[in-house]
């Protein structure tokens, strides 16, 4: 079933004003090498788990 | 008795995976033939980096013939045009008609007999659906490596103008109301922004993301939910944050009616018209089937028995039209076998999905503005492998397909690049389980939140690099290739 759209605001001024934004600390962690080495391991394990679950 | 013949149409992720596993499992017990109009394999996920000038086409493509020769797979560089699943009156052997695309014999008609057929032709890039869309019109694309290279050259020219002091407007996104692959458009968008920063001209650029999604983060999958910071948060929050952080503007719920030089005419879901002006536009086309025909043994057209109106092949899905609220995970195909001919299968993008994943919507004028369901590399490869396994079993006597790979029962791991640099680059690493939400098993969010996850960071970029090399290694069928998962 299709839904017909209701009006919305495409205005640029409103855009992004209420978007969640990362703090400086969060941004710094994204490229912090020791932290990212740890995340590399964690993310790989999470991905392997999903791949494993998909294959079985 | 002659060896069974398996013919695979297409040498993309699904077709190439099928061919590789069939050869590995069947050894010399069967003849494996691939028919593809292009001589090369293209690792499409890395085309994004070609499009911003960080890779050359030969780093994401390689010739298929030497690999197939080494592995004993017959390769015809040709475009399949007509299926004859019943053969002819005088000879009931099923066969495929194909036209050679070799420069030395263009248009030469081939007749390739088969006992089992895998249709893995992928999509036709339907630029013609939007007047003025595409590299022959007024926008660019990254769907193929040559298209991406053209985008890279246009970017270089835009950067040169910016260095002279001109402002440039970039428009990136979807070029039609029914496009899929928003993830690719999104990757190009954030990579473009990263690259403009790296080249020192970001402040001269106005960058807009134009999409047919109802809201950001839908990606044709109805969005996803992720546990983070004590909340279950929808993907639109993360996506919006990513764009806002980078100073990118977005326009959602848009169908592109047409493009003229420097201007895209839009129709919005609320029925209003609009336009976006640009100096460089990279807009993806909608997909449709490649237009294969099918004839019965008397030569009558039976295309509708095998293919949906979209040109994609009907398989074991539930195609009965029903409202969004009645959609089920079990509507999605499991074996990819054609109900019309049990020796024909479709893999990857070539199969007809039963319906979209995102809620369908249309404007008051009746224009569909809804993302089509994505079928990315991982599910395409898994489907290709499952189909190959079923054919292997059927060759050895199984009456029915033995292996399933429903998109409603498998997950996907996806890494979306957000900037290519070994120390400053980032990428969003995402896992989703299952790809098609199953509200019977997971009533609240449709997915298993223990296996649905997302995170942005440098680690994701390293994983993206690793996957680029691993999957090209695997596609080249180097030693131990089959140990690399799909």
Domains, chain B, ordered by start: 5-125+287-395 (3.50.50.100)
ipTM confidence:
0.86
Contact B455 A16 (CB under 8 A): no
Contact B412, B219 (CB under 8 A): no
Specify the long-range contacts of residues B52-55, CB closer than 8 Å, at least 24 apart.
Answer: B52/B151, B52/B152, B52/B155, B52/B188, B52/B191, B52/B192, B52/B195, B52/B420, B53/B152, B53/B155, B53/B156, B53/B195, B54/B195, B54/B420
Instruction: Count CA within 13 A, CB hemisphere, residue B170.
Output: 33
Query: To the nearest whole percent, how much of chain B has pLDDT over 70?
Result: 100
Q: Which residue of chain A comes nearest to B322, CA vs CA?
A: A1
SS3 at position B30: coil
SS3 at position A3: strand
Query: To the nearest whole percent, how much of chain A has pLDDT over 70?
Result: 73
Residue whose token pair is 């996907």: B412
Question: What pLDDT is attached to residue A1?
Answer: 38
Q: Which residues of chain B have a CB within 8 Å of the CB of A43?
A: 429, 455, 459-460, 463
Q: Name the minimum distance, in Å, from the CA of A36 to any CA of chain B.
A: 5
Q: Name the minimum distance, in Å, from the CA of A40 to any CA of chain B.
A: 5
Contact A12 B413 (CB under 8 A): no
Q: Which of B431, B448, B483 to mutate to test the interface with A (most CBs of A within 10 A)?
A: B431
Query: To the nearest whole percent, how much of chain B has pLDDT over 90?
Result: 96
User: What tokens does B36 get?
Assistant: 């593809």
User: What tokens does B398 get?
Assistant: 């199984």
Q: Would you say how long chain B is, in residues?
A: 486
Kindly tell me if the per-residue pLDDT of B427 is higher than 60.
yes
Kindly tell me if the per-residue pLDDT of A15 is higher than 90.
no
- With an 8 Å Cβ cutoff, is A23 touching chain B? no
Question: What pLDDT is attached to residue B104?
Answer: 93
Question: What pLDDT is attached to residue B419?
Answer: 87
SS3 at position B442: coil
Contact A16 B456 (CB under 8 A): no
Contact B141, B188 (CB under 8 A): no
How distant is the alpha carbon of residue B174 from its chain centre?
14
In this prediction, residues B441-454 reach a mean pLDDT of 96
Contact A3 B240 (CB under 8 A): no
Kindly tell me if the per-residue pLDDT of A7 is higher than 50.
no
Q: Who among A3, A30, A33 is closest to B426 (CB)?
A: A30
Kindly tell me if the per-residue pLDDT of A13 is higher than 90.
no
Instruction: Count CA within 13 A, CB hemisphere, residue B264.
Output: 32
B9-48 pLDDT, tens digit each: 999 999 999 999 999 999 989 999 999 999 999 999 999 9
The average confidence (pLDDT) of chain B is: 96
User: What tokens does A1 get?
Assistant: 């079933």
Contact B325 A1 (CB under 8 A): yes
Beta carbons within 8 Å of B289's beta carbon, 6+ residues apart: B121, B123, B124, B307, B308, B310, B311, B312, B313, B350, B352
């Amino acid at each position: 079933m299709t839904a017909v759209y209701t009006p919305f605001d495409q205005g640029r001024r409103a855009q992004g004003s209420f978007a969640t934004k990362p703090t400086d600390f969060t941004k710094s962690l994204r490229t912090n090498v020791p932290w990212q080495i740890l995340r590399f391991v964690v993310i790989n394990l999470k991905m392997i788990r999903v791949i494993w679950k998909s294959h079985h | 008795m002659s060896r069974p013949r398996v013919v695979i149409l297409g040498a993309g992720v699904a077709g190439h995976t099928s061919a590789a596993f069939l050869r590995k499992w069947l050894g010399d017990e069967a003849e494996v033939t691939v028919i593809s109009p292009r001589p090369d394999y293209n690792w499409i996920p890395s085309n994004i980096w070609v499009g911003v000038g960080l890779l050359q086409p030969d780093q994401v493509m390689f010739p298929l013939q030497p690999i197939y020769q080494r592995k004993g797979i017959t390769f015809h560089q040709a475009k399949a045009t007509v299926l004859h699943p019943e053969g002819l009156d005088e000879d009931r052997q099923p066969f495929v008609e194909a036209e050679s695309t070799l420069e030395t014999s263009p248009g030469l008609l081939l007749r390739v007999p088969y006992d089992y057929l895998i249709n893995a032709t992928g999509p036709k890039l339907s630029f013609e659906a939007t007047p003025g869309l595409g590299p022959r019109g007024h926008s660019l694309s990254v769907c193929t490596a040559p298209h991406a290279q053209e985008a890279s050259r246009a970017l270089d020219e835009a950067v040169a103008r910016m260095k002279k002091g001109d402002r440039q407007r970039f428009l990136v996104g979807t070029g039609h109301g029914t496009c899929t692959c928003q993830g690719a458009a999104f990757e190009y968008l954030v990579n473009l922004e990263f690259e403009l920063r790296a080249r020192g001209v970001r402040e001269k650029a106005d960058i807009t993301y134009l999409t047919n999604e109802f809201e950001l983060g839908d990606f044709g999958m109805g969005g996803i939910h992720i546990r983070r910071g004590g909340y279950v948060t929808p993907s639109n929050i993360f996506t919006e944050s990513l764009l806002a952080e980078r100073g990118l503007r977005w326009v959602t719920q848009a169908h592109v009616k047409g493009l003229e030089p420097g201007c895209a005419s839009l129709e919005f879901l609320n029925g209003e018209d609009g336009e976006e002006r640009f100096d460089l536009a990279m807009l993806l086309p909608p997909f449709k089937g490649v237009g294969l025909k099918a004839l019965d043994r008397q030569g009558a057209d039976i295309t509708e028995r095998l293919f949906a109106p979209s040109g994609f092949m009907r398989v074991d899905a539930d195609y009965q039209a029903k409202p969004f609220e009645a959609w089920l995970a079990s509507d999605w195909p499991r074996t990819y076998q054609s109900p019309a001919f049990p020796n024909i299968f479709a893999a990857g993008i070539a199969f007809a999905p039963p319906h979209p994943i995102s809620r369908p919507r249309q404007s008051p004028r009746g224009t569909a503005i809804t993302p089509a369901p994505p079928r990315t590399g991982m599910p395409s490869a898994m489907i290709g492998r499952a189909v190959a396994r079923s054919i292997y079993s059927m060759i050895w006597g199984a009456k029915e397909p033995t292996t399933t790979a429903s998109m409603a029962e498998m997950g996907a791991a996806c890494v979306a690049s957000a900037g290519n640099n070994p120390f400053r680059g980032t990428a969003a690493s995402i896992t989703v389980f299952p790809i098609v939400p199953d509200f019977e098993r997971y009533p609240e969010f449709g997915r298993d939140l223990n296996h649905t996850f997302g995170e942005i960071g440098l680690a994701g970029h390293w994983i993206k690099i690793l996957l680029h090399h691993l999957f090209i290694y695997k596609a080249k069928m180097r030693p131990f290739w089959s140990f690399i998962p799909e």
